[in-house]
Chains A and B, each alone.
Chain A
Amino acid sequence: MAATDNLIDGLTGAWEIVLGLEVHAQVSSVAKLFSGASATYGGEPNAHVSLVDAAMPGMLPVINWFCVEQAVRTGLGLKAKINTYSVFDRKNYFYPDLPQGYQISQFKDPIVGEGQIEIDLDDGTVKSVGIERLHLEQDAGKSMHDQHPSLSFVDLNRSGVALMEIVSRPDMRSAAEAQAYVKKLRAILRYLGTCDGNMEQGSLRADVNVSVRRPGDELGTRCEIKNVNSIRFIGQAIEHEARRQIAVIEDGGTIDQETRLFDPRSGETRSMRSKEEAHDYRYFPDPDLLPLTFSQEWVDEIAAHLPELPDDKKRRFIETYGLSPYDAGILVSERESAEFFESVAAGRDPKMAANMVIGSVFAGLNKSGLSLAESPVTADQVGALVDLIADNTISTRIAKDVFDMMFDEGPDQGKDPSVIVAEKGLQQVTDTTAIEAAVDAVIAENPDKVEQVRAKPKMAGWFVGQVMAKTGGKANPQAVNALVRDKLGVPDED
């Protein structure tokens, strides 16, 4: 059973971690949820603030239907129930970055109900994680405590920006599963274009609920770790928090339900507020807004225009292109990667295209820390490179060198592969007379090795290597191999 792999050992035996996530995803929208002000990231403090965002007297919220549509699209992407009737509630609390004194959110009747996400685990297995709900709510502004020795400042640029809070079931059992969940959720959001998934800018952040229990026991008391803003930190926070809870229990203590903060510098979580200190938010339906209602036909229309999502795309890559599940999984992990691959594979051998995209393009990007959008090599150029292999102009080995020249900084960066091959004379030598001359020369220069190969036929490979080196790698490897074996009288390997 897969779950047993996730158990962690304490001093007194094995423990199971139980995890549920609340992810806040900023809706990709030019305008805020209720005010029409710009929702653009950054800008001078308080440059994107309307009278509504600043909670001026008598100002009223008006729903931004584009944001509603994005929430519906996301719900459909999570294979979730779309509620054609939902209600905006006020969540009341005082804080300087919350101008209204309440956040408009959805409490009892969210716009999206139960759904699920298939997460891809490292061992190649797939696990289903339940989605409890998705609701729309306003973001708060930002308090700035480092601008003045004795005063705090408030930036309301984010105040009123639309967020989707996506709440999972407590279905995850390890940090790796939680990380896979966030990655998959982010991929779905990006495929849909409903959230840019940028965790550094805070467009995607997670509250992680962690509890531990003995395998088979009831759920333990949970602690919520607020606002973890990278996938790596999610892993660290969970690992630390689970170990902390186990240590407390094994010491004879009990876990207090509380809200905790993760400190990326120390890699530890610390208490923020206890259950007793928790706010009474006094939720009630916002009387400034009518219940949010729309027709099932509208939902169906949105569903009909949903893009192909990662799971479907992966399935198609396996079935249509004959790719391995592993390669297909890598290619669909981002919408842009999949598009890049399909562009390279169009009219070409898909496996060759996949190898080139994964083995060269992604490897190159990883090494140089670039995103696909920043790649110096275009899909067309990668396709042209694949073509040069396919028509035997160059070997796979030379292709790797050509790719590096196209990719790496230098005089050839960004050039078309055919230009590089022509300029550097890298065309594969298929002329047997030329290859034969090279083979003869190597045999003549190494009489001792010729002796050895008779006793040890595997030595033939050494001759092949020497010939390849002599021809600058341009000789067709199959032709070299055949000639070497023929001249040395060594039978083909099989």
Chain B
Amino acid sequence: MTALIDLDLAAARDGLAQKEFTATEVVDAHIAHMEQSRALNAVILETADLAREMAAGADQRLANGTARALEGLPLGIKDLFCTKGVRTTACSQILGDFTPQYESRVTQNLWDAGAIMLGKLNNDEFAMGSSNETSHFGPVINPWRGAQGEHLVPGGSSGGSSAAVAAHIGVAATATDTGGSIRQPAAFTGTVGLKPTYGRCSRWGIVAFASSLDQAGPITRTVRDAAIMLEHMAGHDPMDTTSVDVPVPQYEAALTGDIRGMRIGIPKEYRVDGMPDEIEALWSQGIDWLKAAGAEIVDVSLPHTQYALPTYYIIAPAEASSNLARYDGVRYGHRVNGNSITEMYEATRAAGFGDEVKRRILIGTYVLSAGYYDAYYVKAQKVRRLISDDFSAAYRQCDLLLTPTTPSPAFALGSHFDDPVQMYINDVFTVTVNLAGLPALSIPAGMSATGLPLGLQLIGPAFGEETVLRAGHVMEQAAQFTARPDQWWV
């Protein structure tokens, strides 16, 4: 029998339903593995007692026939999700030991479906980063190592989520994606990452980074698991004005394996200068798989793609500079006292925020300032509209887009840390999707020359998650990605 920690979410679900093992057994195995995996620094707060308690409840339900869809399945929760009675920090020192009196809507939905929390997962501070190196709790180590055994980043900002899923600490994890923070870490760790349509999941109770871009989604080991997770994370929430009142489909049912006649667009602008050959080759491989499954390949153009990164790095910091103003030391979290209120603010925020967060607050404050607002923020909003229009035009020719997820595999810890521009370029294939509010899925599709996982991205039209998942499922079967990192950290 497969070890309990090696079961994916669907397999664990089915085994629990058939009483092959108990929720307590599943949870205990994962707790033990979580404790053995501390070297990865993926989990910043283990909630083993809570997990065991929830597992006992799950076993009762499994026994008396009242089990729910995710009954007994242990998950990792990104520390951006507020969890009632459990410290939530967004991996920033400024939140100190902040312990919410409320549960985020998305995690509440998961608990209502019977899922179990194993612990809170590391992430870049306030989700700002592409390597999980900006966390106040220190970097997460990718379970995959470099050819010489060097430590690699797990991607970011959901690096704790991607590492936890890749290392089999949890059967799945929640994550959030503002510019690629689900998909890029998934690509770097050989996992599946699904960023839903903006408005598909409630943002209520998720620490905000950039409100118009943030969206919660799952990181899982399979496309089926992503479908199952999303179904129990999504839903309209009257407490989030930007959440959309569209019924949540049974995503798992969309995995029919049949994509005959589906038109897949290949955006020529994603063929960027200096793209490594292996990424180019992976992309071609993806095209071939889809073609072989009966899809039609269409060349499309997204002409404003080259403006996406600068646009993103105006809008996201602008919103962040305002969203993070509430962390002022007055009501909760970290405070450094001063002789006046201004001194207190300055000392608190100087000590509480890390460099990357400060950098983005400065950029955001600048682009919203009088005299610069029109040239930066207003212009960025106009470009954002053009980027969105590009996608609308493309979807008149095709049903989905296929692109690489990232321009490279996972890089070495510290290698990009002092070069923000190099770091930001990691998001080149992912930020457009957030700017347009679209759903996108990254699946592990191949290996780099250095033996590291590489991801391909499928981008759908708004609320086209079912199509994205169906095509992703087909590619997943074609790719047969079975490689796993050796468990060097245990």
Contact surface of A with B, Cβ cutoff 8 Å: 51, 54-63, 90, 92, 94-96, 99-102, 152, 154, 280, 282-284, 287-290
Would A57 and B326 count as touching, CB distance under 8 A?
A: yes
B368 vs chain A, min Cβ distance (A): 4
A100 touches which of B239, B241, B325, B332 (Cβ 8 Å):
B325
Known: A96-B341, A287-B210. 19 other contacts (CB 8 A): A51-B102, A54-B331, A56-B332, A57-B82, A58-B82, A58-B208, A92-B322, A92-B368, A94-B325, A94-B328, A96-B330, A101-B325, A101-B328, A154-B330, A282-B370, A283-B368, A287-B211, A288-B211, A288-B241
Chain A residues near B373: list those with CB within 8 A.
282-284
In the assembled complex, the Cα of A63 lies from the Cα of B345 at a distance in Å of 30
Contact surface of B with A, Cβ cutoff 8 Å: 82, 88, 90, 95, 98, 100-102, 104, 203-208, 210-212, 238-242, 318-319, 321-322, 324-326, 328, 330-332, 341, 345, 365, 368-370, 373, 377
Chain B residues near A287: list those with CB within 8 A.
210-212, 242, 319
A284 touches which of B207, B318, B331 (Cβ 8 Å):
B318
Give the dominant DSSP class at B's interface: loop
B279 vs chain A, min Cβ distance (A): 33
In the assembled complex, the Cα of A60 lies from the Cα of B240 at a distance in Å of 6
Would B326 and A55 count as touching, CB distance under 8 A?
A: yes
A101 touches which of B212, B241, B322 (Cβ 8 Å):
B322
Per CB-CB distance, the 10 closest pairs between chain A and chain B, nearest first, are A101-B325, A287-B211, A282-B368, A287-B212, A55-B326, A58-B205, A57-B207, A280-B370, A58-B82, A96-B330
Chain B residues near A102: list those with CB within 8 A.
322, 325
Chain B residues near A51: list those with CB within 8 A.
101-102
Would B88 and A57 count as touching, CB distance under 8 A?
A: yes
Would B203 and A55 count as touching, CB distance under 8 A?
A: no
Which of B95, B211, B318, B325 lies at the interface centre, i.e. has the most chain A CB atoms within 10 A of its CB?
B325
In the assembled complex, the Cα of A289 lies from the Cα of B212 at a distance in Å of 9
Would B331 and A60 count as touching, CB distance under 8 A?
A: no
In the assembled complex, the Cα of A419 lies from the Cα of B371 at a distance in Å of 76
A-B contact pairs, 20 of them (CB 8 A): A51-B102, A56-B82, A56-B101, A56-B102, A57-B100, A57-B207, A60-B241, A90-B322, A94-B328, A94-B345, A95-B341, A96-B328, A99-B331, A100-B325, A100-B326, A154-B330, A284-B377, A287-B319, A288-B211, A290-B242
Residue of A nearest to B207 (CB): A57
Would B369 and A282 count as touching, CB distance under 8 A?
A: yes
Residue of A nearest to B243 (CB): A60
B358 vs chain A, min Cβ distance (A): 15
Residue of A nearest to B205 (CB): A58
In the assembled complex, the Cα of A51 lies from the Cα of B82 at a distance in Å of 12
In the assembled complex, the Cα of A7 lies from the Cα of B238 at a distance in Å of 56
Chain B residues near A61: list those with CB within 8 A.
241
In the assembled complex, the Cα of A92 lies from the Cα of B366 at a distance in Å of 13
Chain B residues near A94: list those with CB within 8 A.
325, 328, 345
Would A58 and B207 count as touching, CB distance under 8 A?
A: yes
A398 vs chain B, min Cβ distance (A): 65
Residue of B nearest to A94 (CB): B345
In the assembled complex, the Cα of A62 lies from the Cα of B202 at a distance in Å of 13
Chain B residues near A96: list those with CB within 8 A.
328, 330, 341
Chain A residues near B203: list those with CB within 8 A.
58, 60
Which of B101, B239, B240, B326 lies at the interface centre, i.e. has the most chain A CB atoms within 10 A of its CB?
B326
A289 touches which of B101, B205, B241 (Cβ 8 Å):
B241
In the assembled complex, the Cα of A55 lies from the Cα of B212 at a distance in Å of 18
Would A57 and B241 count as touching, CB distance under 8 A?
A: no
In the assembled complex, the Cα of A280 lies from the Cα of B321 at a distance in Å of 14
Chain A residues near B326: list those with CB within 8 A.
55, 57, 99-101
Would B241 and A63 count as touching, CB distance under 8 A?
A: yes
A150 vs chain B, min Cβ distance (A): 11
B338 vs chain A, min Cβ distance (A): 13
Chain A residues near B324: list those with CB within 8 A.
101
Chain A residues near B328: list those with CB within 8 A.
94, 96, 101
A480 vs chain B, min Cβ distance (A): 77
A65 vs chain B, min Cβ distance (A): 12
In the assembled complex, the Cα of A41 lies from the Cα of B21 at a distance in Å of 58
B436 vs chain A, min Cβ distance (A): 15
Given contact pairs A58-B204, A101-B325, A290 touches B331 in the complex (Cβ within 8 A): no
Residue of B nearest to A88 (CB): B241
In the assembled complex, the Cα of A289 lies from the Cα of B211 at a distance in Å of 9
In the assembled complex, the Cα of A102 lies from the Cα of B327 at a distance in Å of 12
Given contact pairs A51-B102, A57-B82, A60-B203, A284 touches B368 in the complex (Cβ within 8 A): yes
